[in-house]
A = this chain, B = another copy of it.
Amino acid sequence: MSDISGVKALVFDVFGTVVDWRGSVIREGEALSRAKGLSVDWPRFADEWRREGYSEAIGRIRRGEAPFELADALHRRKLDELLTRHGVSGLSEAEVGDLNRVWHRLQPWPDSVPGLIRLKTRYVISPLSNGNFALLTNMAKNAGLPWDCIMSAELFGAYKSDPATYLGAARLLGLEPGQVVMVAAHSPDLRAAQSLGLATAFVSRPDEHGPGGRAAPPDGDFDVVANSFLKLADALGC
């Protein structure tokens, strides 16, 4: 581990790192299927929604091929398309709007809240996510994530891994980049932060893409590597 004695704050990737987006979407989708008598392959639906509606859409925005839009709007446009693709009809506008807000109700991994509570005793803790500000605020309230503040790419008008996001987070906190640790389960996010002077912590989330541990191992030289937020708290002396 590098010398991280000057660290004052930890900023967290959220989707996949703090919360189990895939499992949460599947659970809510299956409950909707039971309530409405639908027949939908929710694991496939969740994967398509995430990949096409979020990851690929944000990629186009990052490359300047599309204007900046919030995650809520990106999710909604793809949701309308996926409902048709998966043969779902008859949902009211209120029901579709509520389904879109499943991303505001994602559930944390079991160690996330206990780990964050320990980390908060010593550090400022905040999300630094491409999710929009309201999504992150509502998610925290719903899931009991004990953030000290909420930082979203929305505040910087740019999506990770744009430097404006990592440097903007340090600036808002009144800190130098080296006083901030980026925490993520995704190496590209960490490498981008590292190139700008932030410290880095990789937390493995092998089940992000489903049971069976297909998620990628760390690919980089990070200051901390851990397999849970509790182990991260151990490593950081909390």
Q: Is A134's CB under 8 angstroms from B72's CB? A: no
Does A24 belong to the interface (CB within 8 Å)? no
**Chain B residues, CB < 8 A from A154:** 172
Closest to A152 in B: B172
- A137 touches which of B132, B134, B141, B173 (Cβ 8 Å): B173
- A124 touches which of B72, B141, B148 (Cβ 8 Å): B141
Count of identical protomers in the assembly: 2
Q: Tell me the count of chain A residues lying within 8 A, CB to CB, of chain B.
A: 22
Q: A155 → chain B, closest Cβ, in Å?
A: 6
Q: Is A140's CB under 8 angstroms from B148's CB? A: yes
Q: A9 → chain B, closest Cβ, in Å?
A: 9
CA gap between A146 and B150 in the complex, in Å: 13
Segment 119-162 of A: residues with Cβ below 8 Å from B: 124, 126, 132-138, 140-141, 147-150, 154-155
Does A174 belong to the interface (CB within 8 Å)? yes
**Chain B residues, CB < 8 A from A148:** 137, 140-141, 150
**Chain B residues, CB < 8 A from A72:** 174
